[in-house]
Amino acid sequence: MTKAFSGTYAALLTGFADNGELDRGRQDNIVDHVLKQALTGLYVGGSSGESGLMSTDELLAQQGMVADRAKGRDTVLIAHVGQPSLADSMQLARQAKALGYRGLSALPPHSYPFSDEEILDYYTGLASATDLPLIVYEIPSRTGRALPFELLSALLQLPNVIGMKYTSADMFKLCLLRRHHPDKTFFYGFDEVMGAAVFLGADGGIGTTYNVLGNLYTALDAAVRAGDVEKGRELQGISQDYVEKIIATGVMPGVKFTLQCLGVDCGPCRKPMKLRNEQAQQDLKAFVTNDVPFRHWLAL
């Protein structure tokens, strides 16, 4: 049975002007490019969108820009609203509801070492802010610690919580969560091993490189579900080749550099984030320009 919201989502990038200001034209360019691809939807305002470098007012504005640009399309919009302040998160959630977003997601509260009880209280408050389905988030690399199984299990039982975005290398914990909560929807967040997570029961993926390779990840998801191991391995290998290149440049800067190489005026990352390593940039440009398997999956 297909679960609610299952599928593939681009963790949408943010368009900035050269001076670092939010830029509607460049945001529209990014949305237009991603919407050409065979994805289920867009995940707006998350870490891939540099939300940690944006104000709440900017995130509110971005929600509106994306909703306007995607209007009339059969695209599922999920708003990431996870701010350190519950009040800011609730403001983002309520506007997303008013704009017609179909679901919400949120990082655990961060910036301080919050206790398990504080994290549970945060999600309880956020889940009650609207009636939109809420996707909780496990990402130890961003929050500084892996949340214990007992806390994640409790979060999945909150009203309105329909599932979890899981971005952790602890695949056994993902399997346990699935086993104990078979009715919930689980998304995987490490693009380079997404196929392994789908094999283990993930219901889809949400990722940064989907902005470029959305067609590939949708095909990878389908191949694994169909039991086509060789096809899945081939597609995941293309993904890994690309991820290896952008790790050397910085992930978000590398994906934006890729879009620029493809003729998409998406702008730079917001400082202090920037492209690293001149040689890595040259290697990435050569890969994007010349690698035949990679180019096969680009949106036209």
- Are 193 and 236 in contact by the 8 Å Cβ rule? The answer is yes
Of the candidates 43, 165, 210, 245, the residue annotated as catalytic is 165
Structure tokens at 40: 């289920």
What are phi and psi for residue 211, nearest 5 degrees?
-60, -30
The Cα 160–Cα 133 span in angstroms is: 5
Where does the chain have alpha helices with state H? 24-35, 56-70, 86-99, 116-127, 140-143, 149-156, 171-180, 194-199, 210-225, 229-249, 251-261, 278-290, 292-296
Known catalytic membership, residue 137: yes
Give the Cβ contact number of residue 141 at 10 Å.
12
- The DSSP bridge pattern shows strands 161-166 and 185-188 to be parallel
Longest dimension (CA), the chain: 51
Known catalytic membership, residue 256: no
User: What per-residue string of b and e applies to 156-180 under the rule 16 or more CB within 10 Å gives b?
Assistant: beeebbbbbbbbbeebebbeebbee
22 DSSP assignment: B
The full length of the chain comes to 300
Cα 213 versus chain centre, distance:
13
Structure tokens at 223: 């191949």
Of the candidates 137, 188, 210, 242, the residue annotated as catalytic is 137
Catalytic machinery residues: 137, 165
